[in-house]
Structure 1
Amino acid sequence: MTALPQYERLEAPGLWRETPQAQRREVIVSFGDTSLVIADDRSATALTHWSLAALVRRNPGGRPAVFAPSDDPGEELEIGDDTMVEAIEKVQAALEARRPHPGRLRRIGWISVVSALAIGAVIWLPGALIDQAARVVPLAKRADIGRMMLADLEHTTGVACHSTEGDKALALLAERLDGVTEIAVLPRALTGARILAGGVVALGQDTLIGPDTPEVAAGAILAAQLAQSGETPAHALLQWAGAGAALSLLTTGDLPAKKIEGYGASLLARPISLPNTPAALDQLLSAFKAAGVASTPYAYAVDPSGETVLGLIEADPFRGAPAPQPVLDDAEWLALKDICS
């Protein structure tokens, strides 16, 4: 049955007109399976059947209700019985709900696709912006960003130390180490070294005042390079600063200093960890060997007992023999040690 079960036996009087010029006549209105049955009120002979699905109400909300079999001019039916009017509208609503709606399905499909794309954009776009910005930033700009990172570090560590001879020694140390363009010694709060964008390195004064050999400073930088774990300093900074900073860098070629305020303190809060796997230890030892730097002095600077750094001591690439070339000569090393004096 198409009609709702509660209305199967419902009947009501009405006035039916076959054409606009015809006289109205009294009829009985009832439900068929898929139609509204209009019958003579005396003989009960069916005069016509109107499709419930196509039924049109001419005067929505008006009384008596006026219905027609379609939008075209022609037959009309007036019904004053509120129960029958309500029944017709409920049955029509039920039929409409059961009818396939290809357009609605398409709309739902499009809404689903757009929603999925929007969710994907929210999840994917920030990371993609950061990756792209970190990948395409020019080398010169990387160095500028590295100096910005250094300036932010200085809010916590104090201004980098400088002296004529000390700066020359730092330049020589930078030349000795692959991937390092410039080194700045910070007077406090920094232990070891941190690699900044563009090959800029922040070096803690602790690597100069304790040991009596430049291998410790060189080793701290090599360990910091390994600790990056494949992520460039520029990418790490943008990951911290967010997609807005990456977008600014991509669209204007500039990274406002306010976008990285506080990054220095965040960097200091992440200590450099020593290799804890054989593979990582081998990588670090290979870096010492390539740079021509003995690893033992750095190992003892990290742990005077040698217990936690035994691998760096026992597998020192220059154990028992001097490195091919000193990291710095005595005069250069003394100038570097006194750079913050």
Structure 2
Amino acid sequence: MTALKKYQRLECSGLWRENPQDQRREVLVRFGEATLILSDPKSGEALSHWSLPAVERINRGEEPPVFAPGSESTESLELDDPDMIAALEAVRAAVKAAIPRPGRLRGLMLGGTAAGVVALALFWLPGALVRHTASVVPPAQRAEIGQRVLDDLVRVTGAPCDNQLGLQALAGLSERVFGPVDTPILYVLPEGVDAPLHLPGDVIVLPRRLIEQSNGPEAVAGAALMERLRSQSSDPMLPLLEHAGLRATFQLLTTAELPDTALAGYGEAALRQPPLPLADAAALAAFETAQVPASPYAVAVDPDGSVTGGLVENDPYKGLAPSPLIPDESWVALQGICSA
């Protein structure tokens, strides 16, 4: 995926539809490390985030090209910028290249690689093999794996909430907190999720309860901010590969393929993992950098202050009234993201 670095921060205009029956709308399209960000060219408000490995062309053989974030999506994006089209095609080629194909020469090469890795594995601890494999998984494949884990997770929680106005508000909040480049993709799940969690590929899952019971977007923003910090503090691929087992980890290392059976049940297991503790100093620095007050989040997740009291006491915005993270109407829309 190193060939894709030349496309980072690439921007162009495009024509976007939320649903097939809607009129096309001009948007600004930004190419990130693992996401495609669509925003309003006038206001800069984020309208949608797409996972790059999920993007596919839906009108092969026709011009201009039209893309969608997966075959089941109702959204579509028409592009005429040759650089952006080339970037998306390069992503698809990279994803396909990760799929092993039959062939004698390839088999011999993989066999030789496998033998070498097995020899090394005799001297490595299993944890070392897991850590090494996690370190070489490229960003686009991490995003693809994260989406597969999300698919496994929704078997327990139900499909992500998808009210269109709510999704736009959620994308806007994410961009406000994390900035316009390589913004994580946020999902709200309707049930079965008691606390925020993160998945590989910069995917952050938020519980419906947190949004509906919060008095403002600051608590939601804080939850997303803390999960991003946790994902940066400890590679989310590590617990996933430990769940998958050494055989699947070895297969990922040697063939760039992770079987579905290795991911089965990991979504539910991730729900049971306790959140990684974070030092108050690191958390407060993240809140200050993002210009988000820490107290609303701290009170929302720990009302008695037994764990997050330090965040309240040392909140960099304590006693101040920072500007709203998103407009009031966007917050109302976000609270209704799980409504039909």
Both structures adopt the same fold (TM-score exceeding 0.5): yes
Match of 2:228 among 206, 221, 225: 225
Contact 1:180-1:201 at 8 Å conserved across structures: no
Q: Decide whether aligned partners of structure 1 residues 213 and 243 sit closer, same or farther in structure 2, where only a CA change above 3 A counts.
A: same
How many Å separate the matches in 2 of 1:211 and 1:170? Answer: 14
How many Å separate the matches in 2 of 1:184 and 1:202? Answer: 5
**Residue 303 of structure 1, CA deviation:** 2.8
**Residue 263 of structure 1, CA deviation:** 0.9
Question: Which residue in 1 is equivalent to 2:337?
Answer: 339
CA RMSD of aligned residues (A): 2.4
Contact 2:241-2:249 at 8 Å conserved across structures: yes
Question: Which residue in 2 is equivalent to 1:330?
Answer: 328
Contact 1:223-1:274 at 8 Å conserved across structures: no
Give the AA of the match of 1:314.
Answer: E
How many Å separate the matches in 2 of 1:229 and 1:182? Answer: 15
Q: Decide whether aligned partners of structure 1 residues 131 and 303 sit closer, same or farther in structure 2, where only a CA change above 3 A counts.
A: closer
The answer to whether 1:211 aligns with 2:209 is: no
**Residue 228 of structure 1, CA deviation:** 4.8
How many Å separate the matches in 2 of 1:141 and 1:238? Answer: 14
Contact 2:251-2:257 at 8 Å conserved across structures: yes
Contact 2:202-2:228 at 8 Å conserved across structures: no
The answer to whether 1:252 aligns with 2:255 is: yes
Instruction: Point out which structure has higher relative CO (alpha carbons under 8 A, 6+ apart).
Output: 2
Between the two proteins, the alignment pairs up a number of residues equal to 220
Question: Which residue in 1 is equivalent to 2:269?
Answer: 266
Q: Decide whether aligned partners of structure 1 residues 123 and 152 sit closer, same or farther in structure 2, where only a CA change above 3 A counts.
A: farther
**Residue 180 of structure 1, CA deviation:** 4.5
Matches within 5 A, 1:56-75: none
Q: Decide whether aligned partners of structure 1 residues 309 and 131 sit closer, same or farther in structure 2, where only a CA change above 3 A counts.
A: closer
Give the AA of the match of 1:204.
Answer: P
Q: Decide whether aligned partners of structure 1 residues 251 and 160 sit closer, same or farther in structure 2, where only a CA change above 3 A counts.
A: same
Contact 2:196-2:227 at 8 Å conserved across structures: yes
**Residue 158 of structure 1, CA deviation:** 1.3
- 1:149-205 CA deviation, whole Å, 9 max, x = no partner? 111111211111102111112212222344642111001111231111010111111
Q: Classify the secondary structure of the residue corresponding to 1:198.
A: coil
Question: Which residue in 1 is equivalent to 2:145?
Answer: 145
Question: Which residue in 2 is equivalent to 1:175?
Answer: 175
Contact 2:221-2:292 at 8 Å conserved across structures: yes
Contact 1:154-1:160 at 8 Å conserved across structures: yes
Match of 1:198 among 196, 201, 204: 201
Question: Which residue in 2 is equivalent to 1:243?
Answer: 246
Question: Which residue in 2 is equivalent to 1:187?
Answer: 190
How many Å separate the matches in 2 of 1:256 and 1:134? Answer: 15
Give the AA of the match of 1:327.
Answer: L
Give the AA of the match of 1:144.
Answer: E
Contact 1:143-1:197 at 8 Å conserved across structures: yes
How many Å separate the matches in 1 of 2:123 and 2:273? Answer: 26
Give the AA of the match of 2:224.
Answer: I
**Residue 308 of structure 1, CA deviation:** 4.3
Q: Classify the secondary structure of the residue corresponding to 1:201.
A: strand
Give the AA of the match of 1:271.
Answer: P
Structure 1: gaps spanning 5 or more residues: 1-117
**Residue 237 of structure 1, CA deviation:** 0.8
Q: Decide whether aligned partners of structure 1 residues 123 and 331 sit closer, same or farther in structure 2, where only a CA change above 3 A counts.
A: farther
Question: Which residue in 2 is equivalent to 1:302?
Answer: 301
Larger Rg, first or second structure (1 or 2): 1
Q: Classify the secondary structure of the residue corresponding to 2:201.
A: helix
Matches within 5 A, 1:40-189: 121-122=121-122, 124=124, 126-178=126-178, 180-189=183-192
Q: Decide whether aligned partners of structure 1 residues 249 and 159 sit closer, same or farther in structure 2, where only a CA change above 3 A counts.
A: same
TM-score (norm 2): 0.59
Q: Classify the secondary structure of the residue corresponding to 1:339.
A: coil
How many Å separate the matches in 2 of 1:190 and 1:210? Answer: 14
Structure 1 ranges of 4+ moved more than 6 A:
none
Give the AA of the match of 1:288.
Answer: F
How many Å separate the matches in 1 of 2:256 and 2:121? Answer: 23
Contact 2:133-2:252 at 8 Å conserved across structures: yes
Structure 2: gaps spanning 5 or more residues: 1-117
How many Å separate the matches in 2 of 1:307 and 1:131? Answer: 34
- 1:30-82 CA deviation, whole Å, 9 max, x = no partner? xxxxxxxxxxxxxxxxxxxxxxxxxxxxxxxxxxxxxxxxxxxxxxxxxxxxx
**Residue 227 of structure 1, CA deviation:** 4.0
Contact 2:243-2:262 at 8 Å conserved across structures: no
Q: Decide whether aligned partners of structure 1 residues 137 and 120 sit closer, same or farther in structure 2, where only a CA change above 3 A counts.
A: closer
**Residue 132 of structure 1, CA deviation:** 2.5
Identity %: 40
How many Å separate the matches in 1 of 2:133 and 2:265? Answer: 20
- 1:251-274 CA deviation, whole Å, 9 max, x = no partner? 332222221111111111123265
Question: Which residue in 2 is equivalent to 1:289?
Answer: 288
TM-score (norm 1): 0.59
**Residue 230 of structure 1, CA deviation:** 2.8
Q: Decide whether aligned partners of structure 1 residues 203 and 140 sit closer, same or farther in structure 2, where only a CA change above 3 A counts.
A: same
Q: Decide whether aligned partners of structure 1 residues 206 and 232 sit closer, same or farther in structure 2, where only a CA change above 3 A counts.
A: same
How many Å separate the matches in 1 of 2:327 and 2:246? Answer: 46
